[in-house]
Structure 1
Amino acid sequence: MEKLNLPEFSCKITENEGKTFVFDILRKKNIVLTPEEWVRQHLVHLLIHHLSFGPGLIKLESGLKYESLDKRSDILIYDRQAKPYFLIECKAPDVAITQKTLAQVSRYNKTLKAPFIAVSNGKSTFCFEVDYQNDITKQMKGFPAVPV
């Protein structure tokens, strides 16, 4: 897999019936290793091991409703009151982060109402704070703090 602009981590990769799998430490099982999954796994390890987000507050591929459609959020972090806190949309490294990509995570967040959102392709990561009272979304210089 391609080198990303995220911290490297020790991962368990296996092959089975011609497919490559990576062990997911949150779901505690092997997941098919796609380029998007490679980015998701790097972000999970960054969140837990470098930014100190508790693994019990992180949910991967969580179902959500947007308009009448069933969608899945890539990474959703909850605060200590079990409210959505930080929504992250992952893209494959060869997918450019564009306004369309940012619009996708914003649409998903209309349902969740997390105060922080991000989009990453592993090469570029953009984090935003959402101010619902003033209807403003502003880009941040880094990741949000761990919820208290």
Structure 2
Amino acid sequence: MQPLNYPSYPFRFKNRENKIYIFDVIRKKFVVLQPEEWVRQHVVHNLISDKNYPKAHINVEKQLLINNLKKRYDVVVFNPNGSIEILVECKSPETKIDQVVFDQIARYNLLLKAKYLMVTNGLDHFFCSMDFEREQYSFLKDIPEYRPG
């Protein structure tokens, strides 16, 4: 897999039936290593190792229903009270981050109401802070580190 704009992390791999798998520390299982999964695993390790978010607050690849359509978010970070702190949309490194990708995460966030949004293809990262009262968002340099309580 190609190098991404993240530090290097101690990933675990295995090879089975001519496929490479990567261990997901959140789902606690090996998953097929696809380009988008490579990005997702970097995001998860970044949140845990560099931003200090507890593993117990992170959820990966869960289904949600939007306009009667089944969709899946990539990564969500919950607050202890159950509200969503961060919603992350991961794309493969070949996918350009454009308005379509931002529209996708915005639709998800109408339902999830995350405080922060992150869109990444592993090479380019975009971070936003939501202001629901004014119905707008502001771009940030990065998402904040975990603050307990």
The separation in 2 between residues aligned to 1:114 and 1:44, in whole angstroms, is 17
What is the DSSP-based 3-state SS (H/G/I as helix, E as strand, rest coil) of the residue aligned with 1:87?
Answer: strand
What is the DSSP-based 3-state SS (H/G/I as helix, E as strand, rest coil) of the residue aligned with 2:114?
Answer: coil
1:17-32 equivalent positions in 2, closer than 5 A: 17-32=17-32
For 1:137, the aligned partner's letter is Y
The separation in 2 between residues aligned to 1:145 and 1:8, in whole angstroms, is 19
The separation in 2 between residues aligned to 1:132 and 1:67, in whole angstroms, is 20
What do the CA deviations read for 1:27-65 (whole angstroms, capped 9, x no partner)? 111000000000000111010011101100000001111
TM-superposed deviation, 1:26: 1.1
State the partner residue of 1:47.
47
Runs of 4+ off more than 2 Å: none
8 Å contact kept, 2:58–2:75: yes
Say if 1:50 and 1:145 are closer, same or farther in 2 by CA, change over 3 A: closer
Instruction: Tell me the TM-score normalized by structure 2.
Output: 0.96
What do the CA deviations read for 1:52-101 (whole angstroms, capped 9, x no partner)? 01100000001111111111100001011011111000000010100111
TM-superposed deviation, 1:119: 0.4
TM-superposed deviation, 1:9: 0.6
State the partner residue of 1:69.
69
State the partner residue of 1:117.
117
Unaligned runs of 5+ in 2: none
What is the DSSP-based 3-state SS (H/G/I as helix, E as strand, rest coil) of the residue aligned with 2:142?
Answer: coil
Identity level (%): 36
For 1:85, the aligned partner's letter is E
